[in-house]
Amino acid sequence: MNDIRGLLGTAVNVQSMVFGNMGETSGTGVAFTRDPSSGENKFFGEYLMNAQGEDVVAGIRTPQKIDTLQKANPGVYDQLCHIREILEKHYHDMQDIEFTIQEGKLYMLQTRNGKRTIFAWLRSQVEMVEEGLIDKKTAVSRVPAAEFNKLFAPILDNNYIRDLGLKEATHGLNASPGGACGQIYFTAAEAEEAAAMGKDVLLVRTETSPEDIGGMAVSKGIVTCRGGMTSHAAVVARGMGSPCVSGCGQIHVDEIKKTLEVNGQLLSEGDYMSIDGFTGAVYAQKIPVKPSEIMQVLEGTMNEKESTLYQNYSKFMGYVSELKTMSVRTNADTPSDAHHAVQLGAEGVGLCRTEHMFIGGKRIISMRKMILADTYGERQIALSELLPMQREDFIGIFRELKGLPVTIRLLDPPLHEFLPNDHTSRHEMALQLGTTVEAISKKINALQEFNPMLGFRGCRLAIVYPEILEMQVRAIIEAAITVKRQGVDVHPEIMIPLVGIYKEFNFCKEHAEAVIAKVFDEQGLKVEYKIGTMVEVPRAAITADEIAKSAEFFSFGTNDLTQMTCGFSRDDAASFLSHYVNDPDKQFYPYDPFQTIDFDGVGKLIKMAVGLGRGVRPGMKMGICGEHGGDPKSIAFCQSVGLDYVSCSPFRVPIARLAAAQAAIAQNASK
């Protein structure tokens, strides 16, 4: 009976599979050795009585039917339970088995590793480790990292949907997982206003732009009519961990009338909608949303003893930490993001984007004042208003990180992104700054660019206006000293963006070091720091040896590096990239290169840069901070080229940690 080959056969030679005549029951069954939904160690399956011998295998699997067999033919049932154990022990994993019972005799037809939800994966693997069935390495390498984020997302109450028989109003792309429900608003400003009044907001936009960040941040979920899986809305939503359904072409927004029309249905501002970011479903009703159990425990609203899911998660992540070799950092711009990421296991901040600190509230006013400044003096005044705000942000983040490294990227986006597009906002801005709409429009026109991605941004801003860099470096170092005085260890890493040529880096580094020396002197206290660069312009990768002479670390900005290396803009590529990835006749790229690193192209460049950089500076610290930092296949690539860390959105930290552990296991195995 321990001979597995003897247990199994096809329906053709069922005669050899007879285990004994246990009654008159007949029929075919499928079953899992554990619950494929929860992972509980409990026999779970379906056995259908069928005297006519009809093929009824493709039914819905429910545990009830197995109970029925237990009553109808306890002998066969016990035999099946015994076989269940043998199979699991042999295959060291949960099995999906097929069997048939002919006139009371049990025949085994087939077995294979069972498909299951991520929840079941987690529980089954942890329990198998504890049962001694598998080792930690096996458990960790099996769990599908790509689905790991589903553990954390809030979920729409599907029972409620089923009970009320609710139908989808429309369907878009499942751009960011999780359920969300709220009152709809059509502009970021209105969303912010409504959220400030305590409302649950669902932001519905034709498409989003960087100006909408504030409104997106306060919304429970985001719906867009245009844009794919890598549109601004989708990328930002995943970064924020907010549910998002993008590209709902059937929704037509009228911002003026403050209404939307979807398949003949008209909704107005303030009406409720719900979205399921797991599936892309959009409902024109209010539907309850439940947070994930793990998040409830992490946020302290549930005791970990009440949550089997959390306990398994915690044990499993313990295995992960033991096995991985790369660090996992997070991309966090606020103390609250940093806090969540550390809760989820982040070992540092790999990318703190300072531009997000210039948007929202009064900050944008000072920022705009800075941009409109005609002279160095005027610019200095505006910068001195921004300095204390920046410093406070960094203090908050340093405190949350408690000595873990924090990589802060200096101002990166083109300045026109901070200026308003519409006349009303320009008018408002003119009033705030005591200038004219004409002056503002003139500046906006002067800053207009044909290809903003390739424009006046990144370190180019610091080179033309070194005083911006100087303010930011001062804020970072003053904040670090403040936190150090409070007894908290601090490791700032200053990152110069968009470097293409070592002279740019050296210019910025020299200016930064001059400010740092001054602050140390003023404060009578020093902190450790590093100055390094993003490698995101192909030229930087090609000449990494020259840059590494003075840069202390590299962080690969794979979003921009992909755009420039492959020559397509993330925002515009939808029109042809779908052909490149999804069309079975073409499939020029095996995966969307904005989700998974293009190994043969961008990856080759990264490999080259790692080699050139470490050739000059052995052991040079290198990481990745693009969207790819949270993608398991890309993380395996990072492991293979010897990066020290990956950095990703806070809510992808657990996935990244798992993927890093899996990559380390795979690398070890292939050695």
Q: Which residues are catalytic?
A: 232, 625
Angle between helix 632-641 and helix 602-616 axes, rounded to 10 deg: 30
Rounded to a whole number of angstroms, the minimum distance from the CB of residue 493 to a copy of itself is 22
Strand order in the sheet with 259-262: 251-254, 259-262, 265-268
| Residue 326 or 641 with smaller CB distance to a copy of itself | 641
| Residue 166 or 542 with smaller CB distance to a copy of itself | 542
Q: Quick one: DSSP state of residue 25?
A: -
607 CB neighbour count, 10 Å cutoff: 16
572 CB neighbour count, 10 Å cutoff: 11
Q: Is residue 231 within 8 Å of 437, Cβ to Cβ?
A: no
Rounded to a whole number of angstroms, the minimum distance from the CB of residue 205 to a copy of itself is 16
Strands 244-246, 221-224: parallel, antiparallel or unpaired by DSSP? parallel
Distance, CA of 127 to CA of 407 (rounded, Å) = 38
Distance, CA of 499 to CA of 505 (rounded, Å) = 6
| Residue 2 or 575 with smaller CB distance to a copy of itself | 575
Rounded to a whole number of angstroms, the minimum distance from the CB of residue 452 to a copy of itself is 7
| Residue 9 or 210 with smaller CB distance to a copy of itself | 210
Rounded to a whole number of angstroms, the minimum distance from the CB of residue 470 to a copy of itself is 16
Binding positions for a copy of itself, rule: CB under 8 A: 449-456, 460, 463-464, 498, 500-501, 503-504, 507, 536-539, 542-543, 546, 560, 563-569, 571-573, 575-576, 579-580, 586-589, 598, 600-602, 604-605
Angle between helix 602-616 and helix 558-566 axes, rounded to 10 deg: 120
Distance, CA of 347 to CA of 341 (rounded, Å) = 9
SS3 363: helix
Rounded to a whole number of angstroms, the minimum distance from the CB of residue 468 to a copy of itself is 13
Would you state the structure tokens that stand for residue 35, as one six-digit string?
């619950």
Q: Is residue 32 within 8 Å of 96, Cβ to Cβ?
A: yes
Angle ∠(478,479,482) on CA atoms, nearest 5: 85
Rounded to a whole number of angstroms, the minimum distance from the CB of residue 573 to a copy of itself is 8
Q: Give the number of C-alpha atoms closer than 13 A to the C-alpha of residue 192, restricted to the C-beta side.
A: 13
Closest to 188 measured CA to CA, from 488, 421, 467, 353: 421
Distance, CA of 201 to CA of 491 (rounded, Å) = 37
Rounded to a whole number of angstroms, the minimum distance from the CB of residue 255 to a copy of itself is 15
| Residue 46 or 504 with smaller CB distance to a copy of itself | 504
| Residue 353 or 570 with smaller CB distance to a copy of itself | 570
Distance, CA of 292 to CA of 144 (rounded, Å) = 18
| Residue 175 or 612 with smaller CB distance to a copy of itself | 612
Distance, CA of 232 to CA of 287 (rounded, Å) = 26
Distance, CA of 296 to CA of 154 (rounded, Å) = 10
Rounded to a whole number of angstroms, the minimum distance from the CB of residue 383 to a copy of itself is 19
Burial class (CB in 10 A: 0-12, 13-18, 19+), 668: exposed
| Residue 319 or 599 with smaller CB distance to a copy of itself | 599
Amino acid of residue 285: Q
